[in-house]
Structure 1
Amino acid sequence: MTRSLTAKFGLGQIVRHREESFRGLVVDVDGVYAGPASEPGPDYRDQPFYRVLAMGEDTGFLVYAAEAVLEPDPDIAPMNADDRARWFTIDEAGHHAPRAQPIH
């Protein structure tokens, strides 16, 4: 039986990491883990994963995180379409990448 998963967070939504101390912007969503060959633990394997553009003290960085470790950040509203177009390149599939880091 195939299980259908629905992503909890959408593109442009601001989230925060439950275990680390950063907030970030969701820029891409995978229905299940699609990262490097070393797979996540069994608790994380069958859930959506997100590419999150996180902000550090001096610069931004890209994080690949399981849905279970993220939570919505109600203090900050999602970006609107004009803001996304200003800060990101967006391909035909809807994948977002920071303008400084083109989509491959």
Structure 2
Amino acid sequence: MRLAKFQLGQVVRHRIYPFRGIIFDVDPVFNSTEEWWESIPEEIRPKKEQPFYHLLAENADTEYVAYVSEQNLLPDTTGTPLRHPQVKELFVAGADGRYRAKFLQPH
């Protein structure tokens, strides 16, 4: 098992599909249903032995939760704020534009 490349609060974008999001949880290896995995087209189906990320995701039309393999994520460097309504529930935006998990904030 290898260490996750991305971290909680990091904004990422999908390598293939036009969406971006913020990481709110990480699984060290695939941890969803076989049906979910098989629903991914075989030519782009990721390996299970890699970190998978839970994202508060958004595209041009909507906001949702996504589960994405590490191989299909890239850092999002646009600096554009996220509009997903749950971002403010889980994260605090820092002056540097980075997001920090609220549960990790000192009180």
Shorter-chain TM-score: what band? 0.5 to 0.7
Q: How far apart, CA to CA, are the structure 1 residues paired with 2:26 and 2:73?
A: 13
Structure ranking higher in helix proportion:
2
RMSD across aligned positions (CA): 2.2
Q: Identify the residue that residue 35 of structure 1 maps to in structure 2.
A: 32
TM-score by length of 2: 0.64
Give the counterpart letter for 2:10 in structure 1. Answer: Q
Q: How many residues align?
A: 81
Question: CA offset at residue 58 of structure 1?
Answer: 4.8
1:31-69 Cα distance to aligned partner (Å, 9 max, x none) = 000011334667411100001111234542001010000
Structure 1 segments, 4+ long, off by >6 Å, are: none
Which of 68, 77, 90 pairs up with 1:74? 77
The alignment-based identity, stated in percent, is 37
TM-score by length of 1: 0.66
1:63-99 Cα distance to aligned partner (Å, 9 max, x none) = 101000000112234303xxx42xxxx5xxx8xxxxx
* 3-state DSSP of counterpart to 1:16: strand
Q: How far apart, CA to CA, are the structure 1 residues paired with 2:32 and 2:75?
A: 22
Q: Identify the residue that residue 51 of structure 1 maps to in structure 2.
A: 54
